[in-house]
Amino acid sequence: MALLRTETLTKAFGALTAVNGVTLEVQAGTLHSIIGPNGAGKTTLFNLLTGQFPPTSGRIVFDGRDITGTPAHRIAHLGLARSFQRTNVFPALSLLDNAWIAAFARGRSWRGLVWRRSDGYAEVAERARAALADVGLADKADQPAREISHGEQRQLELAIALAAAPRVLLLDEPAAGLSPDEMQKMVALVRGLKGRYTIVLIEHKMDIIMGVSDRVSVMHFGSLIAEGTPAEIQRNPEVRRAYLGGMVAE
Amino acid sequence: MSRAWLAVLAAVVVLPLTVRHAIATEIWIFAIFGLGLNLLLGYTGLLSFGQSTFFGSAAYVAGYLLKQYAINVFVALAIGVVVGAVSAALVGYLCVQRSGLYFIMLTFALNQMFYFIAYQWTTVTGGEDGMPGIGRPALLGVDFRNPLAYYVFVAALFLLSLWIMKRIVESPLGKILQAIRENDVRAEAVGYDVPSFKLLAFIIGGGFSGLAGVLYAMLFGIVPLEAIGFVFSGNVVFATLIGGSGSLYGPIIGSFVFIWLSESVSVVWERWPLLLGVAFVIVVLFFRGGCVEAWARFWSWRERRRALEGIAQ
């Protein structure tokens, strides 16, 4: 069954249709990649899925429930967590607090919100630490986020999404701006998360996608032009023409 | 008990021995006002330029009831807290819809609106002349007309306020507000309704402002029109920045510096705000964290020098 589904989802900014009639199904437990050149509308699609702004038309269905137009902070509570393409952390807070904030948001109850000491929530702290450990940042838990390297901030970006105990993890170019070494590490990380979460991954680097994906959808000028297994996508002539173009040696 | 608390307690004891009781009392009242502002400014990253709206509204309402009906002091304080919180809820609801410069201008504009209501409604507020004749009814046999008795009462309320604010900033709410300050888009994305949290910070800050407003009215026996004016709103921002908005204790130090300068130096030198201006420029240029940061830097500099001397020997 599709855990996350969109029906002819469209978003227009004035004359520009950034996302155009996208119908997509993400099966539970799979890693579904969305590829396409810069400006294809991938991030806008994520912004729609997570309620950053409402679609112009179309529907989003999560776990059988219509979530079209639900604001971002509510969508997070349903279990859709995202990472951002541009590093988007809380710079002055410690790594642990970065993850803690996300873990607390999804906590079972907000009792004691204004009065209980924040270090008294053992379960939340545990989840935050586990998320940091998952991305390999456990030993830097007490450092402020602004003091760690760019590569580590990308890992933290992922940890914040994980700390929310998501049902669907939306990863927006987790390897953006990483050195080849760091990229290897990130790919291994994402591979490790596969199977534990339903993952939707945006990427424009083909080599990253092909190794880890179960399904691949190709976006071009706001529309989906193909969908299939990585092997099918690589063979698809339309994809080669429209997207891969000169990148693939004939 | 931490060193900070010991320092605050020591200051509470020493202050009335060194300055006039009225000044000492005003310092703690202004510190309560600053604590409320700093939840917005330091923790949530919201520069509210209209805190006197809540301070003044509470002072007028509670002052009026004290004057007309000589109500119980605790009832007056409770009413002040509620008026402060409710007026902050109204103002905050409108302001949190916007951010940045528009937010600041809205807090300022609404402050001006309240100011002109107070200015025009002379039958109640006395307009430009202020609202005089506010008494300090005795409580449990203690006569608050005695300046020292009133000082002790205010100091105790200040300590209570500080303790409550400490609990708030160490609660999940404190952490969430800091997360909103650091990155409101991400805070929203991980599941926090940012405008609602900002509003909550406003309401709590308004409650503290309201408490300070009533204590102020009782201290001077009058609510001057300035108590709801924008200069007053600016003063608490200056004081908090000079003290250090990054710390829970910053507004307390700021209040001390500000009130001491304004009450002591102003007697000797009419142009004392010049000193304040200089202090403010120094803070903005060199010590963004105010006195708290200056102090921390001084200590780390001393530590390093000691360490170097140790190596030299």
The sheet with strand A65-66 has its strands ordered as A16-27, A2-13, A57-62, A65-66
Pairing of strands A80-82, B222-223: unpaired
- Work out the average pLDDT over B80-103: 93
- Domain membership of residue A132 (yes or no) is yes
Of chain A residues 218-247, which have a CB less than 8 A from chain B?
Answer: none
Of chain B residues 192-221, which have a CB less than 8 A from chain A?
Answer: 192-194, 200, 204
Structurally, how many domains does chain B consist of? 1
> Which H or E element spans position A85?
none
- Domain membership of residue A84 (yes or no) is no
pLDDT of A123 higher than 60? yes
Nearest to B218 by CA among B23, B87, B84, B62: B62
- pLDDT above 70 covers a percentage of chain B that reads 99
Residues of chain B with Cβ-Cβ distance to A121 below 8 Å are 172
With H, G, I as helix, E, B as strand and everything else as coil, classify residue A105.
helix
Residues A182, A146, single domain; the answer is no
Say if the Cβ atoms of A121 and B172 lie within 8 Å. Answer: yes
Nearest to A127 by CA among A81, A68, A75, A70: A81
Predicted pLDDT at A243:
63
- Name the domain boundary from A135, A163, A191: A163
- Domain membership of residue A200 (yes or no) is yes
B229-273: pLDDT as tens digits: 898 999 999 999 989 888 899 999 999 988 888 887 777 777 777
Q: How many CA atoms lie within 13 A of A19 on its CB side?
A: 26
The verdict on A46 touching B (C-beta cutoff 8 Å) is: no
pTM of the model: 0.91
Residues of chain A with Cβ-Cβ distance to B190 below 8 Å are 76, 81, 101-102, 105, 160, 164
- Domain membership of residue B173 (yes or no) is yes
Predicted pLDDT at B310:
79
CA of A106 to nearest chain B CA: how many angstroms apart? 7
Of chain A residues 77-96, which have a CB less than 8 A from chain B?
Answer: 77, 81-82, 84, 88-93
Say if the Cβ atoms of A115 and B179 lie within 8 Å. Answer: no
The verdict on A65 touching B (C-beta cutoff 8 Å) is: no
CATH number at residue A205: 3.40.50.300
- Work out the average pLDDT over B65-69: 92
CA of A101 to nearest chain B CA: how many angstroms apart? 7
Q: How many CB atoms lie within 10 A of CB B123?
A: 7
Residues A250, A183, single domain; the answer is yes
Residues A59, A106, single domain; the answer is no
CA of B15 to nearest chain A CA: how many angstroms apart? 31
Predicted pLDDT at B1:
60
Which two tokens mark A198? 């339903």
Residues of chain B with Cβ-Cβ distance to A93 below 8 Å are 175, 178-179, 182
pLDDT confidence bin for A246, thresholds 50/70/90: very low
User: Read out DSSP for chain B?
Assistant: --HHHHHHHHHHHHHHHHS-HHHHHHHHHHHHHHHHHHIIIIII----S-THHHHHHHHHHHHHHHHHH---HHHHHHHHHHHHHHHHHHHHHHHTTS-HHHHHHHHHHHHHHHHHHHHH-HHHH-GGG-EE------BTTB-TTSHHHHHHHHHHHHHHHHHHHHHHHTSHHHHHHHHHHH-HHHHHHTT--HHHHHHHHHHHHHHHHHHHHHHHHHHHTEE-GGGGSHHHHHHHHHHHHHH-TTSSSHHHHHHHHHHHIIIIIHHH-TTTHHHHHHHHHHHHHH-TTHHHHHHHHHHHHHHHHHHHHHHH-
- Work out the average pLDDT over B220-234: 91
Residues A55, A176, single domain; the answer is yes
CA of A68 to nearest chain B CA: how many angstroms apart? 16
Is the CB of residue A88 less than 8 Å from the CB of residue B185? yes
Residues A106, A158, single domain; the answer is yes
User: Greatest CA span in chain B, whole angstroms?
Assistant: 76
Is the CB of residue B234 less than 8 Å from the CB of residue B53? no
pLDDT of B6 higher than 80? yes
Residues A212, A142, single domain; the answer is no
Residues A59, A176, single domain; the answer is yes
The verdict on A76 touching B (C-beta cutoff 8 Å) is: yes
Residues A155, A171, single domain; the answer is no
Q: Average pLDDT, whole number, for chain A?
A: 89
Residues A174, A154, single domain; the answer is no
Judged by average pLDDT, the poorest of A44-58, B16-30, B37-51, B126-140 is: B126-140
CA of A152 to nearest chain B CA: how many angstroms apart? 17
pLDDT of A1 higher than 80? no
Of chain A residues 107-166, which have a CB less than 8 A from chain B?
Answer: 110, 112-118, 121, 160, 164
Residues A68, A187, single domain; the answer is yes
Nearest to B183 among A88, A117, A164 (CB): A88
- Work out the average pLDDT over A150-157: 92
Is the CB of residue B212 less than 8 Å from the CB of residue B59? no
In angstroms, rounded to a whole number, what is the distance separating the alpha carbons of residues A31 and A25? Answer: 12
Backbone phi, psi, residue A105, to 5°: -55, -40
Predicted pLDDT at A248:
44
In angstroms, rounded to a whole number, what is the distance separating the alpha carbons of residues B147 and B31? Answer: 18
In angstroms, rounded to a whole number, what is the distance separating the alpha carbons of residues A217 and A228? Answer: 7
Residues A32, A104, single domain; the answer is no
pLDDT of B283 higher than 60? yes
Say if the Cβ atoms of B182 and A77 lie within 8 Å. Answer: no
Nearest to B44 by CA among B190, B192, B197: B197
Predicted pLDDT at B237:
92
Distances (CA, A) of A201 to A84, A183, A209, B75: 11, 15, 8, 59
Choose, out of B43, B190, B247, the residue to mutate when testing the contact with A (most A CBs < 10 Å): B190
pLDDT of A245 higher than 60? no
Is the CB of residue B111 less than 8 Å from the CB of residue B50? yes
Predicted pLDDT at A249:
39
Say if the Cβ atoms of B173 and A114 lie within 8 Å. Answer: yes
Is the CB of residue A161 less than 8 Å from the CB of residue A110? no
- Name the domain boundary from A163, A186, A207: A163
- Tokens 């700093």 belong to B38
Nearest to B191 among A73, A88, A97 (CB): A73
The verdict on A192 touching B (C-beta cutoff 8 Å) is: no
Q: How many CA atoms lie within 13 A of B51 on its CB side?
A: 36
The verdict on B182 touching A (C-beta cutoff 8 Å) is: yes
- Domain membership of residue A85 (yes or no) is no
Q: In this structure, what DSSP letter does residue A103 have?
A: H
Chains A, B: CB contacts within 8 A come to 88
In angstroms, rounded to a whole number, what is the distance separating the alpha carbons of residues A127 and A120? Answer: 13
Structurally, how many domains does chain A consist of? 2
CATH number at residue B38: 1.10.3470
- Tokens 């004392």 belong to B272
- Domain membership of residue B249 (yes or no) is yes
Residues in contact with A120: Cβ distance below 8 Å, sequence separation at least 6, in sequence order:
A112
pLDDT of A247 higher than 60? no
Domain that residue A36 falls in: 1-79+167-250
In angstroms, rounded to a whole number, what is the distance separating the alpha carbons of residues B281 and A61? Answer: 55
- Work out the average pLDDT over B167-182: 95
Nearest to A217 by CA among A193, A243, A188: A243
- Work out the average pLDDT over A129-138: 94
Say if the Cβ atoms of A101 and B176 lie within 8 Å. Answer: yes
Q: Average pLDDT, whole number, for chain B?
A: 90
- Name the domain boundary from A118, A145, A163: A163
Say if the Cβ atoms of B189 and A121 lie within 8 Å. Answer: no
User: Read out DSSP for A121-170?
Assistant: -HHHHHHHHHHHHHTT-GGGTTSBGGGS-HHHHHHHHHHHHHHT--SEEE
